[in-house]
Amino acid sequence: MQLPDILRRRALSILLIVTVVLAGFAARGFWTTRAARPFLPDATRSAITGLSSPSAIDRAYAVKALRVLRDRAAVPALLGQQADPDQAVGLYVAQALAEMAGPNDLASLRSALRNSNPDVRWRAALALGQAHDAKAVSELALLLRDPNVLVQRSAADALATIGNSAAAQALTGALGTPQASVNQVTMAALEKIGEPAVPALALDSSSNALSRQNAATVLGFIGSPKAGAAVQLAVVDANPDVRSKAQWALAEINRGNAN
């Protein structure tokens, strides 16, 4: 039975990427022996060698090749590449790890969230989010208050991608943080989760008025009928700023329902 045209084209494209990448490594002298070896192990070995290239372009090609090959034997090398000095290469490494990491590798990524290098922290957060690792929620929550804004954003995005009730509660718990960047990324993440975040936002009885105000704002952004029911309590809040934001949110929700 012949493959459909679209699958055949995709297979040829993947083969072309691997061939071009390995040809590039050969031209740069990444291996010196011509001894016959099985193709896939040799391809993986050659791509791993490419990770040590002084050229960021070559390292990027190496990561892309490993991502196409999907050889789990390459995961330790990718874990060791999380501190790559080039941000684009680091992004590719995180994306590859998200697709290739197994349970033990995810544990290593969770440990990387505590690394002293902020680049390692944001890349590990991105990988764990894209891997939907629910076990990472509590440690990702800590990174919402990280001094590095990129780490904050990556942690918030990861929690939004995981999207379970624990992730929504972790994000809601950071809504009252004085640091503006933390509020921005957590509010955006809760809006991304959408209606499943409403129970966590509705239960925000924090003594922190800023937290209640931001919760009401997010409920307005979500705009569903469930959000409207949740924001009703904030309309009679003792704090005038919270009441004002809740009234705005309720108007937005009613306007959306009317349409």
| CA–CA dist 229, 187 (Å, integer) | 19
Same domain, 64 and 33: yes
pTM of the model: 0.82
Contact predicate 29/58, CB 8 Å: no
Same domain, 155 and 211: no
Contact predicate 30/49, CB 8 Å: yes
Taking the alpha carbons of 76, 79, 83, 88 in that order, is the dihedral positive or negative?
A: positive
Same domain, 165 and 206: no
Domain that holds residue 65: 11-70
Same domain, 189 and 94: yes
CATH of residue 144's domain is 1.25.10.10
Distance set, CA 180 to CA 76, 144, 162 (Å): 37, 12, 23
52 domain-assigned: yes
Q: What is the pLDDT along the chain (259 residues), one digit of tens a residue?
A: 454 665 555 555 555 565 555 555 554 444 444 443 334 468 899 999 999 999 999 999 999 999 999 999 999 999 999 999 999 999 999 999 999 999 999 999 999 999 999 999 999 999 999 999 999 999 999 999 999 999 999 999 999 999 999 999 999 999 999 999 999 999 999 999 999 999 999 866 667 899 999 999 999 999 888 888 888 888 888 899 999 999 999 998 888 666 5
| pLDDT for position 224 | 84
Q: What is the CA radius of gyration of the chain?
A: 23
75 domain-assigned: no
Same domain, 101 and 22: no
**Closest of 161, 101, 149 to residue 122, by C-alpha:** 149
Q: Which amino acid is it at 42?
A: D
Q: Which residue has the tokens 């192990």?
A: 41
Domain termination residue (choose one: 193, 217, 249):
193
Q: Which two tokens stand for residue 249?
A: 């949110």
The string of pLDDT tens digits covering residues 118-158 is 999 999 999 999 999 999 999 999 999 999 999 999 999 99
Report the 10 Å Cβ neighbour count for 72: 12
Distance set, CA 84 to CA 28, 140, 153, 167, 246 (Å): 20, 21, 19, 29, 45
81 domain-assigned: no
Domain termination residue (choose one: 171, 193, 215):
193
Q: Which two tokens stand for residue 174?
A: 């950071």
C-alpha dihedral (201, 205, 206, 208), degrees to nearest 10: 90
Q: What end-to-end distance do the CA atoms of the chain give, in Å?
A: 51
Same domain, 181 and 206: no
Domain termination residue (choose one: 193, 209, 240):
193
Q: Which two tokens stand for residue 137?
A: 């929620």
1 domain-assigned: no
2 domain-assigned: no
Same domain, 189 and 95: yes
Contact predicate 192/160, CB 8 Å: yes
Q: How many domains does the chain have?
A: 3
Same domain, 95 and 189: yes
| pLDDT for position 240 | 94
Same domain, 150 and 228: no
Q: How many CA atoms lie within 13 A of 157 on its CB side?
A: 15
121 domain-assigned: yes
| CA–CA dist 175, 95 (Å, integer) | 28
